[in-house]
Amino acid sequence: MQFNRRDFLKSTGLTAAIMLSPRLAFGAESTTTTTTTSAPRDPAMGWGDDPNDRRKDAAYLDKSIRHINDPELFAALDLSRPELAPVRSAVEQSDFAEAYMAWGQYWKTVAKRGMYQDPDQLLCTLESAAASFKPTEAGVLDQANALLAHKINGWGDVTIQFGPVVDFNAAFGNAGKYGFHYWIWSRPLIQAYLLTKDQKYLAGFDELFNQWYEQRDKVHGEEADLHAIYYELGLGIRNRAFLEYYCLPYDERPAQTHERMLKTVLGAGRWLYQEEKRMYRGGNWQIIGSYGMSHIGLMVPEFKEADDWVKLGSDRLIAHTIQDSYDDGCHKERVPSSYMLYLYRDPRNLAVLLKDRPEYQGIIEKFRGPMERTLNWWTYAMPPDGVVPAINDGGRLPMPPALLQDGVDLFNRRDMGWVKENIVLPPAAPSTQPATNSLALDRDKPKQRSTFFPSSGFTIMRSDWSRDALYMMINHGPSGGGHSHDDALSFEMNAYGMAMAIDAGIGLTYDDPHHSNWYRQGKSHNMLLVDGKNPNREEAAGREVVWTSLSQIDYWAATHYGYQKSLGVTHRRHVAFIKPNYFVIYDVVDSAHVGHELSWNLHTTLNVAPDTRNPSAKGPGLLILPSGANWTESRPNGIADTRGIKGFPTTHAVIDWLKYNLLEQAAPTTFAVALYPYPAQAPSVKFSTVSKNDRSAHFTLESADGTDHLLFGDLDSGGISFRGAFAHLRLAKDKLVTASMSQGTLLSRGSLKLHYAQPRDVEAEG
């Protein structure tokens, strides 16, 4: 796929704004069923055919959820509370106008419950992963003032300038119609008030809320079975924004707003309760819905049903923290920049809301173990630029510092604090750095560099914990379901402060026209493709995994069978990290029949020079050195998420795509590529094949450090005998300097003789 950079940027209108958005996943929850009737079904009834689901009663759905009248609302409130005596008195006289005014006076005394009033600690802001954010004041105020003028960036890159009345049925796209009704776009109004205490921002929110309330019945979704207003993600997210506004002290809030807000959140709580009580369902929808329901119950405990909402929501979130994650802390959907974020964020924020309520302390304790494991995964998978990589249906995400601060505050994890201070936060100017920063002490630096996460299927190779470290993440895990992309044994790489090889990621929303034909495709990932086809993702998890991490080398290998059923092909990928300088990727393709077209793909943020063996001397740069001349090289390009990468001012850009292609002549077919990053001046490096034997191969890499011998598999070659998975020997002037082997029983060269009865990982010096 070839993209013209100028035309692409012009057509999309992408800006530098970074937006992390909950993304729609229609049909993602395979455990649900839909009712089949002769008459059209109201999608607000929800999915499933549980006869105990009260939403199936059209009268209940209409009168108790969608169009609640005054008697129904006040009957839902516990008016026996002494503090609500004025409200009760007005209701007994059927003076509902007075009752709403009395409620408004009461609400002023309790609205701050559970909510911080500081912009750095806004508890439940929709996209604040761990309850804090530090907005740039000028940027927030610009966005908030645009909203006051009814200029709304409602979803993705779609912005509409409305007149005095906002059209809440506006065309923001297919998924965008639903995303617009998350109200994520309204966040700057809340932030602007917290920064300035200017009531005009609350007045603007109040106006927009009331316009929405008056139009909500006229909003039509684009999916026949998914109501635009009454569906799980919308109700679970939108009402957070409503309650954030409602808990702030707006002096001129009219009685009408109190009425409409109470009816809105009561209907949402009831709808979500019927949805969540049906069953436990894996996936992010129920996480978001369960937290939204609990949040309503905790913010408006005056509802008689509030305690039921909190208890059910808590039970569901506890189940999700346990069942939706691998034992290494990664979310099973394997999208660490978004869906894993939601799984952490919502239980975490619920625990904060419950912390001062003794009756819920048992719930908080159940969240602790899963929360720490998730933080641990993020910490040890963290790239040197502090940006969570774009994996599956997730974009690149600059890591929220508050997440790792949780590790310090909640679990006394000083290693997490060190990573926050030294990797995630921007470097501080020398004059402003504290003389004694307890979170930056060497003793707190993580002791483990490279990390193997076998459960979730991610392997991290890292030279050190500096911002300039060499880093590679290998994605070899199972399918994560509907949010998985069609890649197998793919990788991403950082070096010298640059994200050099990246996954294309995802567009701003699922309405992106390239979502299906590019972002999800195998070709947009750093992997080996067969016949240009995607592997069967369910069969493409890495098997027969080997992992070795020593002081001189990291070595990983795995086989995937994603092409076996369709094409009779298996692929084993080996990755060797020769610390701290370079990586070698060695691929072995076995097939039942020859003649397959193989393509080796690398998507890089660097400009690929005319000759990749002799690139420009300007760095940081990357030498890309293939092992054989029988592969043909091509240089198309493709769109990628470039957030947080130096030199890319937009969220997405067209970047270089290097391909090596071969029409398979025999089986097995082998191919190796050395990736040699450099910080400034391109070094003199030569990568050569010494010998090959079936699936085994012997390569050398010559550099200023000497000559490295790299042996993959059992081989007798060049005076070296090896039996095992991988061996590395470094020679300087033909004298052995170091030797390492992964899962080996024999490594012999001259005076070096390592021989063992059982395979082991060993390193030695000359």
pLDDT at 118: 39
pLDDT at 660: 94
Q: How confident is the model at residue 612 (pLDDT cuts 50, 70, 90)?
A: low
Over 70: is that where the pLDDT of 730 sits?
yes
pLDDT at 127: 37
List, for residues 551-560, the tens digit of each pLDDT value: 999 999 999 9
Over 90: is that where the pLDDT of 122 sits?
no
pLDDT at 439: 52
- Residue 346's H or E segment, with its range, is helix 339-354
Q: Mean pLDDT highest for which of 85-94, 405-414, 433-442?
A: 85-94
pLDDT over 90 percentage in the chain: 73
Q: How confident is the model at residue 382 (pLDDT cuts 50, 70, 90)?
A: very high
> Cβ of 594: how many Cβ atoms within 10 Å?
11
Q: Where in the chain is the domain with CATH 2.70.98.70?
A: 1-24+448-681
Mean pLDDT of 46-70: 92
Q: Which CATH class is domain 1-24+448-681?
A: mainly beta
Distance set, CA 394 to CA 78, 80, 341 (Å): 43, 48, 10
DSSP structure class, residue 607: P
Lowest-confidence region among 431-435, 609-613, 699-703, 725-729: 431-435
CA angle (518, 675, 554) in 5-degree steps:
105
pLDDT at 6: 33
Q: How confident is the model at residue 494 (pLDDT cuts 50, 70, 90)?
A: very high
List, for residues 249-278, the tens digit of each pLDDT value: 999 999 999 999 999 999 999 999 999 999
**Furthest CA-CA distance within the chain:** 102
Rounded to two decimals, the pTM is 0.87
Over 60: is that where the pLDDT of 117 sits?
no
Read off the tokens for 559.
């086989």
Query: What does the mean pLDDT of the chain come to?
Result: 88
DSSP secondary structure of 415-435: HHHHHIIIIISPPPPGGGS-S
CA angle (74, 310, 21) in 5-degree steps:
105
Read off the tokens for 87.
């409200």
Over 60: is that where the pLDDT of 37 sits?
no
List, for residues 429-458, the tens digit of each pLDDT value: 554 544 445 555 788 999 999 999 999 999
Mean pLDDT of 166-178: 93
CA angle (592, 594, 600) in 5-degree steps:
105
List, for residues 306-348, the tens digit of each pLDDT value: 999 999 999 999 999 999 999 999 999 999 998 999 899 899 8
pLDDT at 436: 44
CA-closest candidate to residue 474, choices 358, 554, 365: 554
Residues whose CB is less than 8 angstroms from the CB of residue 378 and which lie 6 or more positions away in sequence, other chains included:
329, 336, 388, 399, 403, 404
List, for residues 642-663, the tens digit of each pLDDT value: 999 988 999 999 999 999 998 8
pLDDT at 607: 84
Rounded Cα distance between 491 and 474, Å, is 4
Over 90: is that where the pLDDT of 67 sits?
yes
Mean pLDDT of 521-530: 97
Over 90: is that where the pLDDT of 12 sits?
no
CA-closest candidate to residue 521, choices 481, 484, 478: 484
Rounded Cα distance between 23 and 182, Å, is 10
